[in-house]
Structure 1
């Protein structure tokens, strides 16, 4: 099960239990809407309560990431799982975004709120 939220250019997702393809499709619809009307977005994934991810969800994540390679600015992932950390690192191959893994929610949200100075 997932819980989603969005505000301005931020999409937040918290996963509880198993992360299924239906959950991922819900996330995709929200991101597609935000990107269409607002441009690139930041993503906040809270995966601390995720118990498992289905294979079809993992494959969809790769497909979606490749199709939206330039639609994300920053991606913050909260987890204490080494496997999820490795997966986030691997995702860098598919998206042109800054990706960081955090164990602290406040730090993740502060990083997402920072403005890049050019």
Structure 2
């Protein structure tokens, strides 16, 4: 029997009014994954007036989203997209370019894709 893991690990750091949110996604994300992380994200945003958010999204082990999880992701983007300054995506999957293009419709800040984590962190801090 094969066990298929999926989910998101999340880290949230506050630096004055800036939030650095890091996600590591693996497997195929589900609605239940978003039900688990959305309250954490909402809580972090609520505790800072006018948050400026920078995100490191590690998608190297991400296989995709189920339909309901994609909807959950879209709702988060619509609600908080104007608060995002930068989004660094780690990964090499060909479909990440497409996902970044769609993300630009809902996010005010910059989005870039990286293969190297240190380069992504340096870009986020610039």
Summarize deviations over 1:30-55 as a string: whole Å, max 9, x none. 22122212212111110001123111
Alignment: residue pair count: 114
Q: Cα–Cα, structure 1 residues 93 and 78, in superposed 2: closer, same or farther, change >3 Å? A: same
TM-score (ref. length: structure 2)? 0.82
1:5 to 8, 11, 15: 11
Q: Aligned partners of 1:2, 1:81: CA distance in 2, in Å? A: 18
Partner of 1:80: 92
Q: Which structure would you say has the larger Rg?
A: 2
Partner of 1:89: 101
Partner of 2:3: none
* Structure 2 unaligned spans of 5+: 1-6
Q: Cα–Cα, structure 1 residues 21 and 7, in superposed 2: closer, same or farther, change >3 Å? A: same
TM-score (ref. length: structure 1)? 0.87
* Structure 1 unaligned spans of 5+: none
CA RMSD for the aligned pairs? 1.4
